[in-house]
Amino acid sequence: MTVALDHRPGSNVSDRIISVAALAVGGQGGGVLTNWIVDVAERNGFRAQSTSVAGVAQRTGATIYYVEMCRDRGRQPVFSLSPSQGDVDVLIAAELMEAGRAILRGFVTPNRTTLIASSHRIAAVSEKVVPGDGRASSAEVLDAARKASKDHVIFDMERIAVEAGSVISSSLFGALAGSGVLPFPRESFEATIEASGRGVKASLKAFGQAFDEAARRRAGETVGLPQPPVVEGSAPVDAPLPLGGQPESEDADDVHAAAPSPAPRGDGRLLAQWRALEGRVDALPPPVRVMAGLGLRKVVDYQDADYGAEYLDRLGAAVAIDDEARSYALSQSAAKYLANALCYDDIIRVADLKTRATRTARVRREIGVRDDDLLKVTEYFHPRIEEFCGTMPAGLGRWVEARPKLAAWLDRRVNRGRHIRTDSMAGFALLWGIGGLRRWRRHLLRHEVETAHLAAWYRLALDTAPQDYDLAIEILACRRLVKGYSDTHARGLSKFDRVLSALPMLQGRSDAADWLRRLREAALKDEKGAMLDGALKTVASFAATPTEAGMPA
């Protein structure tokens, strides 16, 4: 039977079995962490046993590593092979939602468990598949962690590991040592890392920083946990730079809050264009400037400075009919969704992002590849005839699409999955060449189609504003439904059209904006569209009724 670890004065920890469970996914070093915990126990005269139960897949189930240890009294103790509910002294989670899952499974209890977890997030598959914002609430997990555990040590251990050039197992080990929950000195933990013989310097650096942070929190020197900003519609990412160098965001549907960007460098003519665009942003009403500045960066990074000027021209049409009394809410919404609409995803965009140096650096960082290691990267592409025609000059693309037999013949040859090795010269050159087509993007069929769709949507919103200001804002926000490329784009566009098909039934009603918002949220919550179907039927049921009395919730 496992006995709870007791830190009360006079308790004899040496006579107790200590149970430690760690939850981690591939690439986080869970196995290394487990070996270190066993090693440090044995260095201090303990017997220890470790086991592991593998998860189903990388983001659908973490591997549970389990260690039991006790003082070596000359006879073999009986250890458990897996953790039991209410029977875990230390629970280590390599990511915040793994801590939440451990709490739900009963591995964390208030009378016993010290919870050690990193506060950073990795979106789970269940969060990614939601068409809209499917992120689980980090705040709820943090609150549950405080209530469910005896003690908790939670901070961003991933950031510490990355800055040290190590992996999160090193900072988790440091937090475990700094928490004081195990009866071993710091020197024993460090000796364990040194004995591992690989990446020792970086591991010790991450260990030391995490140890100090955990010790400070244990001593009560820090209060509260800083939370990352929550941005509607997508997970936080680094902001795009104005003249190149944006992190990968193949399916982003938002313009993100940005930290100050480095001063742009480059050709003098381009810098002069950029400064002129910045001057135009500075001339906008103050409430619009921040979002317009972010949108401008995104658009220029996507295409060029001329495209940025086009963005500001279109935004100016919203500003011209807006007013300060409404805090320029219409213009702020236009600044956000215009940028997203202008930066539509196509094959050129995907190829461009996949061949950027920032993307390669991020992949190496996330999977813990050292500078002297070789990394093989295989990208998957599955273009349809629509994407193929979209990359043709507009006239030629329309000509092909107008001939079904020719289009079908071409589709049989292009509509298949392709695995492209971007770590090879040929694979990288292929995608780099496709990404370079951006300079001709304005002359391609896909751009013509996207521009026409954008113009109709934007004009609809601006024409609606004089009669129903709030409804116009909701029309702009419907752009959230259109994202991605290939099948993802087709599904989003279909939902966009279906949501806006309700406008004739809603216009003139005092609650029109509220109902359009409900329709959009229904479309975002359900990939198959069943919720949207039900919401549209509800709207149709009262569309013929002249009264505007209370609508069903």
Query: Within a domain: residue 523?
Result: yes
Q: In this predicted model, which residue has the larger pLDDT, 280 or 16? A: 280
Domain endpoint, select from 166, 201, 218: 218
Q: Does residue 286 have a pLDDT over 80?
A: yes
Q: What is the pLDDT of residue 550?
A: 41
Grouping H, G, I as helix, E, B as strand and the rest as coil, residue 255 is coil
Is residue 120 a contact partner of residue 96, using CB atoms and an 8 Å limit?
yes
Share above pLDDT 90 across residues of the chain, in percent, rounded to a whole number: 39
**Among the listed ranges 14-23, 170-179, 314-323, which one has the minimum average pLDDT value?**
14-23
Query: Within a domain: residue 522?
Result: yes
Q: What is the pLDDT of residue 486?
A: 79
Query: Within a domain: residue 513?
Result: yes
pLDDT, averaged across the chain: 82
Residues 145-154: tens digit of each pLDDT: 888 888 888 9
**∠ Cα 16 21 24 (to 5°):** 160
User: 24: part of which helix (H) or strand (E)?
Assistant: strand 18-24
Residues of the domain holding 185:
13-218
The CATH number covering residue 93 comes to 3.40.920.10
Q: Does residue 376 have a pLDDT over 80?
A: yes
Instruction: Tell me the torsion sign for CA atoms 264, 269, 272, 276.
Output: negative
Is residue 148 a contact partner of residue 123, using CB atoms and an 8 Å limit?
no
Mean pLDDT throughout 77-96?
Answer: 86
**∠ Cα 358 117 226 (to 5°):** 70
CA distance 200 to 267: 43
Q: In this predicted model, which residue has the larger pLDDT, 384 or 6? A: 384
Query: Within a domain: residue 288?
Result: no
Domain endpoint, select from 154, 185, 218: 218
CA distance 429 to 420: 11
Q: Where are the beta strands (DSSP E) in 43-84?
A: 46-53, 63-71
Q: What is the pLDDT of residue 240?
A: 33
Mean pLDDT throughout 476-482?
Answer: 93
Tell me which range, 181-190, 263-272, 356-365, is most confidently predicted by mean pLDDT: 181-190
Query: Within a domain: residue 424?
Result: no
**How many beta carbons lie within 10 A of that of residue 72, not counting itself?**
16
Pairing between β-strand 378-381 and β-strand 46-53 as defined by DSSP bridges? unpaired
Q: What is the pLDDT of residue 24?
A: 82
Q: What is the pLDDT of residue 444?
A: 95
Structurally, how many domains does the chain consist of?
Answer: 2
Is residue 101 a contact partner of residue 62, using CB atoms and an 8 Å limit?
yes
DSSP conformation class of 278: H
Query: Within a domain: residue 537?
Result: yes
Residues 391-409: tens digit of each pLDDT: 999 999 999 999 999 999 9
CA distance 357 to 368: 16
Residues 408-418: tens digit of each pLDDT: 999 998 888 88
Q: In this predicted model, which residue has the larger pLDDT, 163 or 289? A: 289
Q: How far does Cα 379 stand from its chain's mean position?
A: 19
Q: Does residue 368 have a pLDDT over 70?
A: no
Q: What is the pLDDT of residue 549?
A: 39
CA end-to-end span of the chain, whole Å?
Answer: 54
Query: Within a domain: residue 262?
Result: no
Residues 432-446: tens digit of each pLDDT: 999 999 999 999 999
Domain endpoint, select from 218, 234, 268: 218
Q: What is the pLDDT of residue 253?
A: 37
CA distance 15 to 161: 34
